[in-house]
Amino acid sequence: MASIDENNVLELLGKRISPGKGATINFNMAKLYTATSVEVPIIIERAKKPGPVVLITAGIHGDEINGVEVVRQLIVREINKPAIGTVICIPIINVFGFLNMTREFPDGRDLNRVFPGSKNGSLASRFAYQFVQKILPVADFCMDFHTGGASRFNAPQIRIVKGDQEALKYARIFNAPFTILSKTITKSYRETCSKHGKSVLLFEGGKSNNSNKDIARSGVEGAMRILHHLDMLKQKFEVPDPKGETVVIENSSWMRAKYSGLLHVKIPCGKHVEKGEYIAIITDPYGKLRHKVKAPNEGYIINVNESPIVYQGDAIFHLSASNKSHEEE
């Protein structure tokens, strides 16, 4: 069990890290078919002064590279070395998936659907259980970085539960371009954090198997603003000035393709569109079909399907219901 004793010494996975020290610990609880150990590096940086423990994670899905890049930049730029407290970075939780550039664990399960795990369950479930038992308890605040699945490109966004005023406060501090009010997914890491009383922000940006510098910048700058708010960001860093306030989106819906064919997207992800605005074309390969896709209502495009080919019924755009920020009631 992770803990901090009366002398402000952190114990994690059997290792003791004193105030003002840093360490890299390998979380090793599974092996490949070849009996080769697969280790998950955990990078810990501690200030001499006591303070919050912030747990920053990415790569729960092995093909989500943008989140990994966000955490990598926090480490290489030494943003993770706090003025007070402790920052724990895990750039790649699902090392198995990262090695194969796949979303799932080797047992075919989605790690983000098996939390809090089971001591005697599947490989993914066992891993989640060990993570929740041995690492999560010491955290006070969690930031988890994700990307869109498959060819779906997410505009940079924070996802929080509607009605959670504390989460909304932190989402405004992080200040991603968008804050989406969405339910937690059953057995997800975010749900488990909440059930354990941990403040958590889930960042989404970009798409799988893709690295985008603008998405990474949004994630890094948001994390810096959170650390600054917690008095953990060292004075040598300039707090990034946000470009306007985050747009809080309460209601949204997916637009689906009316025809199968080649998809030609005409607008960038994150754009505000008007009702009836021309945003894409669906064509066939033979020059017979040319269908204009128009926005059914005014709002923001928060996700774009960047697949060049779609089938009838495929989700192609995620569109907010309004362009106005919604305050929690």
Q: What phi and psi values does residue 243 have, to the nearest 5 degrees?
A: -95, 85
**Structural domains of the chain, with CATH:** 3-229 (3.40.630.10), 253-320 (2.40.50.100)
- Cβ 117 vs Cβ 130: under 8 Å: yes
User: Cα(103)–Cα(45) distance, rounded to whole angstroms?
Assistant: 29
Q: What phi and psi values does residue 138 have, to the nearest 5 degrees?
A: -80, -15
Dump the DSSP string for 147-212: EESTTEEEEEEEEE-TT-HHHHHHHHHH--SEEEE-PPPTT-HHHHHHHTT-EEEEEEEEETT---
User: Cα(124)–Cα(113) distance, rounded to whole angstroms?
Assistant: 9
pLDDT for the residue 262: 98
Q: For residue 76, give the nearest of 89, 66, 85, 63 by alpha carbon.
A: 89
User: Cα(298)–Cα(275) distance, rounded to whole angstroms?
Assistant: 5
pLDDT digits (tens, 9 = 90+) for 141-182: 999 999 998 899 999 999 999 999 999 999 999 999 999 999
Q: Print pLDDT tens along the chain (329 aa).
A: 678 998 999 999 999 999 999 999 999 877 777 777 889 999 999 999 999 999 999 999 999 999 999 999 999 999 999 999 999 999 999 999 999 999 999 889 999 999 999 999 999 999 999 999 999 999 999 999 999 988 999 999 999 999 999 999 999 999 999 999 999 999 999 999 999 999 999 999 999 999 999 999 999 999 999 999 999 999 999 999 888 999 999 999 999 999 999 999 999 999 999 999 999 999 999 999 999 999 999 999 999 999 999 999 999 999 999 644 433 32
Length of the chain: 329
User: Cα(55)–Cα(252) distance, rounded to whole angstroms?
Assistant: 30
pLDDT for the residue 35: 78
**List of residues 6+ apart from 105 with CB closer than 8 A:** 94, 96, 97, 111, 122, 123, 124, 127
Hey, is 138 helix, strand or coil?
helix
What's the order of all strands across the beta sheet hosting 261-265? 290-294, 278-283, 261-265, 309-310
pLDDT for the residue 34: 79
Name the token pair of 85.
């407290």
Spacing of C-alpha 257 from chain mean position: 27
